[in-house]
Amino acid sequence: MDQAIILAAGEGQRLRPLTVFRPKVMLSIGNKPILQYVLEAVAANGIRNVLVVVGYRKEQVQDYFGSGEAFGIDIKYIEQKQQLGTAHALKQAESHAGDRFLVISGDNIIRPSTIASLLNANSHTILVRPQENVSKYGVVLVRKGIVTGIIEKPPQDGSNLVNTGIYAFTKDVFAFIGDEVDLPAVLMRMVNDGTAIRSCETADTWLDVVYPWDMLKLNALVLNADAGSIGGHVEHGAIVKGPVSIGQGSIIRSGCYLVGPAAVGKNCEIGPHVCILPSTSVGDNVVLSAFSSLKNSIVGNNVQLGPFSHLEDSIVAGGSRFAGHFTAHSDEAMVYVENEPHRIAMGTVVGEHSHFGPNIAVSPGIVIGNRCHVEGMKLLHANIPDGCKVV
């Protein structure tokens, strides 16, 4: 197998406001875009010929990954102008596809070992993985290693094997796409036609991001697998415990207390007397001012967090500014995504380039949109849409 087709055109609407200005594949987990984990897995398996199908906010993918040379691969970009589905996305790559190739969703975190078992597949093969809760996935029915059916989001368990969205195909697959827009429907068309699709089971890393709080779970798992490294400067009097990564040009000032697993990006200024607790990732060019604390949170690039602020189980997108004494404690709350209720424990989600005055407290589960402006001395207990001003 010497070619991979990566499907990276979608938006990820259930992750809004985080995907309003960036595609789902470019959301950061462990200080790396989700798509980077996929491309690194492909490169580690010796595949250099990579087709990336882009669409929504495609320039961000192209600007970040470029030709792929920095990642040890050769990338050719193909545009899906309308994001109709995975089969439609694959069809856009037909004229560039080889005789055999992998198809991989660009919005799941995988490891090199996840796809290694597919490299020698000579026929159509689907990678499946056992899951305890299959209600969010396509369940794959298998008999003696051959796929007999796929049921999307089943009401009851008929199998614990779910479709990972990772396949080995020959070029014959394009003859079955026709007017279908989603790959599971294409697979069922192949099964009904009598074409054998083999099942390949994996227990390796395959992490799916559906809702914002999934990002926190995945961030913790990714950080926990990192041994940590110190590339910046840690002043005397700062304490760093466990696996913590600190990027080049960053400074950890005296009195800070960092406990891994955690990551701090490049050119950050942390402290003095800042506390970063486990499962927290801080992006590049971030300022965390004195006596602030973060726990199990994701902070994007170019964020400034004022003194005496606290984030817990929270996500802050890039470019946001907080004047100080900003508090987002975590507790169980009812959060609605596309009118679906979810009872979860979390702090807050803040979109890009929002600005906050001093002394603001946010109730658990509140979502604040992009480019909002909130004046000081406020208690926020309702969601704030994009572009709103709270006075």
Structural domains of the chain, ranges and CATH numbers in brackets: 3-210 (3.90.550.10), 220-390 (2.160.10.10)
Q: Which of 71, 41, 7, 33 is nearest to 202 (CA)?
A: 41
Report how far residue 154's alpha carbon sits from residue 156's, in angstroms, rounded to the nearest whole number: 5
The H or E element that residue 290 is part of is none
| Residues sharing a CB contact under 8 Å with residue 129, sequence separation 6 or more, in sequence order | 161, 162, 164, 201, 202, 203, 206
Q: Which of 385, 391, 351 is nearest to 19 (CA)?
A: 351
Q: What are the respective helix, strand and coil percentages of the chain, to the nearest 5?
A: 20, 35, 45
Q: What is the residue-level pLDDT of the chain in tens, covering all 391 positions? A: 899 999 999 999 999 999 999 999 999 999 999 999 999 999 999 999 999 999 999 999 999 999 999 999 999 999 999 889 999 999 999 999 999 999 999 999 999 999 998 998 888 999 999 887 777 778 888 888 888 888 877 666 567 888 899 999 999 999 999 888 999 999 999 999 889 999 998 888 999 898 999 999 999 999 998 888 999 999 999 999 999 999 999 999 999 999 989 999 999 999 999 999 999 999 999 999 999 999 999 999 999 999 999 999 999 999 999 999 999 999 999 998 888 899 999 999 999 999 999 999 999 999 999 999 999 999 999 999 999 999 9
Report how far residue 386's alpha carbon sits from residue 218's, in angstroms, rounded to the nearest whole number: 26
- Cis ω on the peptide bond leading into residue 272 (within 30° of 0)? yes
